[in-house]
Structure formats: C-alpha cells, structure tokens
C-alpha cells in the first residue's frame, strides 16, 4: 500500500438482504448499471456510473457480510487495521465486524462514539 492512500476514503458499498432488488433500485434512481460480481452461488454487484467507472458496490448480507449493517458504508484506508480497530475501541467506539481478511486485505467495521459506522481497510502488501 502506498502512503498516499492512507487516511483516505477508498470505496463505498451497501450491504442489504436483497442486493438484486436494491441494485435495480439504484439503477433507476442514479443511472448506475449493475455489473454482476459472482460470489458463492449468488451475485453481488459493482455499480457502474454512466461513464463506465465503478461508483460503488451493492452486496448481499450473507456469509462474511452477514454482520455488516444495511447502510452506505465508506472504507477508510489504514496502515494496520487491527491496531486501528483496537484504538477505536479504546476511544469509546465499538468494533461491529472483524478485524478479518477480505478480498486481498483486512477489514473492520467500527461504530464511533456518536453512533456513525465506517469500515477500516488495510490493503495487502502486494497492492
């Protein structure tokens, strides 16, 4: 991971019980095109903007995503997700999911002392 990504928001996604219906909703509302991303027997979605760039993801609340809250979730890049999650807890926040391995990196979903939720993301050393 390069130092210029640390502390920045690198991704947005939404995890819901029915990603098929919600991706169709955002296709109509935002003009995004759902692109299937095969999982274990179902599809999550990359949502493509009209220019073809990926704008966000919409995922099913299944498997490792079962504990992720149904809200738009931003991912903040950190150098060490385990240390950052521990720091969040020590500062009055809570860890809702993880830290755990996911997609070539490590993830933790935290809630801050005000109740807002965000993900912490540590890219693998190869990224």
Per residue of the chain (127 residues), give pLDDT as tens. Answer: 345 789 999 999 999 999 999 999 999 999 999 999 998 889 999 999 999 999 999 999 998 889 888 999 999 999 999 999 999 999 999 999 999 998 889 999 999 999 999 999 999 876 4
Which is it for the CA torsion 71, 100, 1, 6, positive or negative? positive
Closest CA to 95 of 114, 117, 79, 125: 117
pLDDT of residue 40: 85
pLDDT of residue 125: 73
Could you tell me how many residues make up the chain?
127
Report CA-CA distances (Å) from 29 to 25, 35, 47, 116.
Answer: 6, 16, 12, 25
What domains can you pick out in the chain, each with its CATH number? 1-11+72-127 (3.10.180.10), 18-60 (no CATH)
Predicted structure pTM score: 0.86
Closest CA to 56 of 93, 94, 84, 29: 29
pLDDT of residue 3: 56
């Amino acid at each position: 991971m390069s130092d210029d990504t640390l502390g920045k928001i690198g991704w947005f996604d939404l995890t819901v019980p029915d990603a098929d219906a919600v991706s169709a909703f955002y296709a109509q509302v935002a003009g995004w095109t759902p692109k299937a991303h095969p999982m274990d027997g179902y599809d999550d979605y990359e949502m493509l903007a009209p220019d073809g760039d990926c704008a966000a993801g919409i995922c099913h609340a299944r498997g490792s995503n079962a504990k992720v809250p149904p809200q738009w979730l931003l991912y903040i890049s950190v150098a060490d997700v385990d240390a950052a999650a521990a720091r969040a807890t020590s500062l009055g926040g809570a860890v809702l999911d993880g830290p755990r391995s996911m997609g070539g990196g490590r993830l933790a979903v935290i809630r801050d002392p005000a109740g807002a939720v965000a993900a912490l993301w540590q890219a693998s050393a190869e990224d």
